[in-house]
Amino acid sequence: MLFSILLLIHFLAFVTYLIHLALLWPTKGAAPRGKAGLILGVILLLTGALLVWISYPHINYYKVVPKTLAFLVVTLINIRFGERDLSKAAYFGLFALTISAGCIAIFH
């Protein structure tokens, strides 16, 4: 039950982060931002780590390691820019990393 709840929180944080990035699309990240991206990135990292901890030792490392690295980079980019506007490279990097992590999660 705990695994399912954490997985749901992880999924909702992921979808919310994608919506957050999609709302910035018209300005390519050059609009004022709050701390929502950082908070969602931390939630993704924490829930992902807890999901791995709960399911240990039956872990698909070929999925977990790239996803964790992707969301670690996403979190670091959000920390780097803080509440300032994103550069276009950072915005597209966030978008690409987020989509690639989602693709890693759903493909075998």
Q: What is the pLDDT of residues 43-94, one digit of tens each?
A: 988 998 898 899 888 888 888 889 888 888 888 888 888 778 888 888 899 8
What is the pLDDT at residue 108? Answer: 65
What is the pLDDT at residue 29? Answer: 67
What is the pLDDT at residue 5? Answer: 94
Instruction: Give residue-wise pLDDT tens across range 6-53.
Output: 999 999 999 998 898 888 887 776 776 777 777 887 898 899 889 889
Query: CA-to-CA distance for 41 and 71, rounded, in angstroms?
Result: 7
What is the pLDDT at residue 67? Answer: 85
- Residue 73 lies in domain: 2-106
> Number of folded domains in the chain?
1
Query: CA-to-CA distance for 64 and 105, rounded, in angstroms?
Result: 8
- Nearest to residue 32, comparing CAs of 98, 71, 85, 95? 85
Half-sphere exposure of 53 (CA within 13 A, CB side): 8
- Nearest to residue 14, comparing CAs of 88, 93, 97, 89? 97
